Structure 1
Amino acid sequence: MTASGTKSDLRFYLQSARDALLWKLDGVAEYDVRRPLTPTGTNLLGLVKHAAGVELGYLGDVFGRPHGDPLPWLADGAEPNGDMWATADESRESVVALYRRAWAHADATIEALPLETVGRVPWWQDGKDEVTLHHAVVRVIADTQRHAGHADVLRELMDGAVGMREDNTALPSSDPAWWEAYRERLEGAARQAAEREGGRPAVSP
């Protein structure tokens, strides 16, 4: 495969992950888009804020291409996990706009540099801090897809909205009755397996 073909594949899967993550914010109220939904505080808007910082770092700063956006939550001495949630003063619109600027900056880096270009990751251990652009893009794709999966689960728990993307849910049915029967089947299988091992389900449905 040619270098341009490889870049095209990488860009496709990166953009697919970006779109999926951002789509999960659609139709969500201001409180719900920010509120923590797991014991570790995972929330929809925080995932987007984090993803923006990852792209600006790995596909910008690492390759000597500063983006110009101040990211105080990533500065030395900043509060831990500050990139994983939005303060009351950070609007949804500003976080989404930052993410879209991160896309443009990252895409420009991918376009401008050969995939074999070596960058330096300042937050990695000295002596082990070099990375190729190819590696960095794959790393960002993996991170974004992981967080898009987190957003999938958060959104389903929040209001039942599911699907891979707006034009393709990638689900076998849209019938609630089908899903209820499916879930009951899984619950039954789990209980049978637990009983076979001589145990009991830890939590009732």
Structure 2
Amino acid sequence: MIDDVAKEHLHGDLREIREVLLQKIEGLGEYDIRRPLTRTGTNLLGLVKHLALWESRYFGEVFDRPFPEPLPRWDDLGQRGADLWVAEHETRDEVVGRYRRAWAHSDATIAALTLDSPGHVPWWPRPRVNLFAVLVHMLTETGRHAGHADILREQLDGSTEAASEERDEAFWAARRDQIERAAVKAARTERGPGV
């Protein structure tokens, strides 16, 4: 019984965080969802593409339930990182559609298997796994990338989950200034008195 409760809880959280990630690209133009916003090129639509690939792989080939669409080989070093950005010929609808199809495939795998069902992750140091480990891993990865998406979206247009309509730009400017003053004071303390 506890396995069923745990599985539904983890699966429910995964479903929720997937939707949160897609909300981060809503209302933005093609340039903003694709443009590199960090030194390494992290971008919003690239995060969606990345998660579509890895969710397909983790809930597909790991449990001998291959995703029905072609996937690049996991051990192709020449393709490493290509899933983190979107080429000009790939459309938003294609990337989001692939992610949603990956969800459906993953959801079917999760529904069909028990938490202790064995799988094999050849790229992990300890490749013998079970559904529980993979479900926790994908929930963690999706949550991590949704957090990246939160920050990227805030960089683009200032929108955040926390920024309610009650808090205007003046509030956020004052909050930022308060945080900056605290950081400056902490840096001075670290250097010692008289510096």
In the superposition, the TM-score normalised over structure 2's length comes to 0.92
Taking the aligned partners of 2:66 and 2:82, their CA distance within structure 1 comes to 21
Taking the aligned partners of 1:15 and 1:170, their CA distance within structure 2 comes to 23
Taking the aligned partners of 2:79 and 2:43, their CA distance within structure 1 comes to 17
Alignment map for 1:184-203 (pairs within 5 Å)? 184-198=177-191
Taking the aligned partners of 1:73 and 1:30, their CA distance within structure 2 comes to 28
Q: Which residue of 2 aligns with 1:33?
A: 33
Aligned AA for 1:43?
A: N
Q: Give me the CA root mean square deviation.
A: 1.9
Q: Which residue of 2 aligns with 1:141?
A: 139
Q: Which residue of 1 aligns with 2:68?
A: 68
Aligned AA for 1:159?
A: D
Shift of 1:175: 2.2
1:124-173 deviations in Å (ceiling 9; x for gaps): 34xx211110010000000000000000111111111111xxxxx48695
Shift of 1:75: 6.5
Q: Which residue of 2 aligns with 1:109?
A: 109
Q: Secondary structure at the match of 2:21?
A: helix
Q: Larger helix proportion, structure 1 or 2?
A: 2
Q: Secondary structure at the match of 1:37?
A: coil
Shift of 1:73: 7.2
Asked if the contact 1:34/1:45 (under 8 Å) is kept, the reply is yes
Asked if the contact 1:120/1:129 (under 8 Å) is kept, the reply is yes
Distance 1:139 1:2, change over 3 A: same
Asked if the contact 1:72/1:78 (under 8 Å) is kept, the reply is no
Q: Which residue of 2 aligns with 1:4?
A: 4
- Give me the identity figure in percent: 49
Distance 1:73 1:24, change over 3 A: farther
Question: Unmatched 5+ residue regions in structure 2?
Answer: none
Structure 2 residue 91 is the aligned partner of structure 1 residue 91: yes
Question: Unmatched 5+ residue regions in structure 1?
Answer: 164-168, 200-205
Taking the aligned partners of 1:73 and 1:86, their CA distance within structure 2 comes to 18
Give the total of aligned pairs. 192
Asked if the contact 1:73/1:83 (under 8 Å) is kept, the reply is no
Alignment map for 1:173-188 (pairs within 5 Å)? 174-188=167-181
Asked if the contact 1:74/1:83 (under 8 Å) is kept, the reply is no
Shift of 1:77: 5.0
1:92-116 deviations in Å (ceiling 9; x for gaps): 1000000001111111111000100
Distance 1:170 1:5, change over 3 A: farther
